[in-house]
Amino acid sequence: MMTIANDKVALFEYVLTDDAGEQLDASNGNPLAYLHGHGNIIPGLEKQMEGKSVGDKFTAKVPAAEAYGERVDVLVQTVPSNMFQGVDTLEVGMRFEAQSEHGMHSVEITEIDGDQVTVDGNHPLAGVDLTFNVEVTGLRDATEEELEHGHAHGPGGHHHH
């Protein structure tokens, strides 16, 4: 019986909740496909998928450090509002793509004080311990192309645009 291991493509349905049991995300009948061992999904979940086979249902608890990381204070910055060119109204909760020396990342406005705007570049789930209710729905060997690209193709996988 095939089990999840490096260079296998696994498909799984999931419901993602936080510590308070709030649902954050779910696959809703569109299983996610990923290539195991290639960092396609968060490390803590990938680790717990190892060795599972089709039909397995389990709960994976993933601490923040193995999910989207702990919150990093240095990613919170205050910038002048004139940095946001072409945006008429700035509001708390707006997200922007920002270019930094680490490449593109998404920042969220968390505070506006006059012309000073505080942005937070932490992932929205940084510092959050996650719980995944998982059901493995498919498993196959990766194709050579998938191994070359480092991710799953086809339904539930990564689509090239």
**According to the model, what pLDDT value does residue 158 have?**
63
CA 101 to the chain's CA centroid: 21
Please report which confidence band the pLDDT of residue 102 belongs to, taking 50, 70 and 90 as the band edges.
Answer: low
Cα separation, 14 vs 31, in Å, equals 8
Residues 114 and 141 placed together within one structural domain of the fold: no
Phi, psi (deg, nearest 5) at residue 120: -120, 120
Please report, as a single letter, which amino acid is at residue 155.
Answer: P
Residues 44 and 93 in one domain: no
64 shares its domain with 81: no
Tell me whether residue 160 is in a domain.
Answer: no
Examine the pLDDT at 160 and tell me if it is beyond 70.
no
Q: Structural domain of residue 32, as residue ranges?
A: 8-68+126-149
Q: What is the domain-level CATH number for residue 78? A: 2.40.10.330
pLDDT in tens, 111-156: 999 999 999 999 989 999 999 999 999 999 999 999 999 999 987 7
Q: Is the pLDDT of residue 20 over 90?
A: yes
Domain membership flag for residue 63: yes
Q: DSSP secondary-structure letter at 65?
A: G
Residue 62 shares a structural domain with residue 93 = no
27-74: per-residue pLDDT in tens?
Answer: 999 999 999 999 999 999 999 999 999 999 999 999 999 999 999 999
pLDDT band at 98 (very low <50, low <70, confident <90, very high): confident
Q: Specify the amino acid at residue 120.
A: D
d(CA 75, CA 138): 38
Same domain for 94 and 81, yes or no, is yes
Same domain, 59 and 133: yes
Identify whether 116 is part of a domain: yes
The closest of 8, 13, 59 to 37, measured between CA atoms, is: 8
What is the length of the chain? 161
Which element (helix H / strand E) includes 49? helix 43-49
Number of independent structural domains in the chain: 2
Mean pLDDT calculated for residue range 2-8: 97
Does the structure show a pLDDT above 80 at 103?
no
104 and 35 within one domain: no
| pLDDT given at position 144 | 96
CATH number of domain containing 42: 3.10.50.40
pLDDT band at residue 85 under the 50/70/90 scheme: confident
Q: Binning pLDDT at 50, 70 and 90, where does residue 161 land?
A: very low
At 157, the pLDDT band (50, 70, 90 cuts) reads: confident
